[in-house]
Structure 1
Amino acid sequence: MNESMSVREARANLAKLLDQAEEGEATVITRGGAPVAAVVPIEEYEALEEAADELLARKALRTLAEEGDEPRATLADVLADLFGPSATDVA
């Protein structure tokens, strides 16, 4: 079961939170009684990051498949949109 504690308790018990994370236990941090963050084992965080990357890659592949041969923006187009037309002179 995940433990939860307030921000105040978390500040006072940071070393304990890190020890628990190393042991595989997650702790939910609350502010005003509402969950706002979690201290989790690094393996769980890395797995979450990998899953998010995989979902983004799948979404990108679906988008490319749906668009077919439609024209895509060039790097110069993106730079011009971000920084103005003079940015394309650098690229």
Structure 2
Amino acid sequence: MDDSENELSVRDARAHFATVIDRAQAGSPTVITRNGQAVAAVVPIEDFNALEDAIDRQLSREADRDLAENPDAPTHSMAEVIAAVFEDESHHGAA
């Protein structure tokens, strides 16, 4: 695989997976395509972590804004949210 490539089909990515990982480790993302459409990317972990942090900050700002606009709105603890998620999964899970 040529180092200048930044886009690969699923088939080529599978065939050159170690190289795709090496490229990500070296700081170069690779876009994976299926039928000519971008469907995934293998990115350096630092980029992924930065994106996750940015999303968390944005969601926190939105929550703070929503609470400021409606201070009497009901709130839920993280424990309540997690319990609700697992309860929902138990009702929709496989037997």
TM over 0.5: yes
Q: Could you tell me which runs of 5 or more consecutive residues in structure 1 were left unpaired when the two chains were aligned.
A: 84-91
Runs of 4+ in 1 over 2 A off after TM superposition: 77-80
What's the TM-score, normalizing by structure 1? Answer: 0.76
Q: Which amino acid aligns with 2:8?
A: M
Change (3 A) 1:18 1:72: same
Distance, in Å, in 2 between the alignment partners of 1:44 and 1:74 is 31
Q: Say if 2:57 is the partner of 1:72.
A: no
Contact kept, 8 Å, 1:2 with 1:25, in 2: the verdict is no
Q: Say if 2:62 is the partner of 1:59.
A: yes
Q: Say if 2:16 is the partner of 1:25.
A: no
Map of 2:45 onto structure 1: 42
- Say how many residue pairs are matched: 80
Contact kept, 8 Å, 1:29 with 1:35, in 2: the verdict is yes
Distance, in Å, in 2 between the alignment partners of 1:74 and 1:40 is 34
Q: Which amino acid aligns with 1:38?
A: A
Contact kept, 8 Å, 1:26 with 1:39, in 2: the verdict is yes
Q: Could you tell me which runs of 5 or more consecutive residues in structure 2 were left unpaired when the two chains were aligned.
A: 88-95
Identical pairs, percent: 47
Structure of higher CA gyration radius: 1
| Shift in Å, 1:71 | 4.3
What's the TM-score, normalizing by structure 2? Answer: 0.73
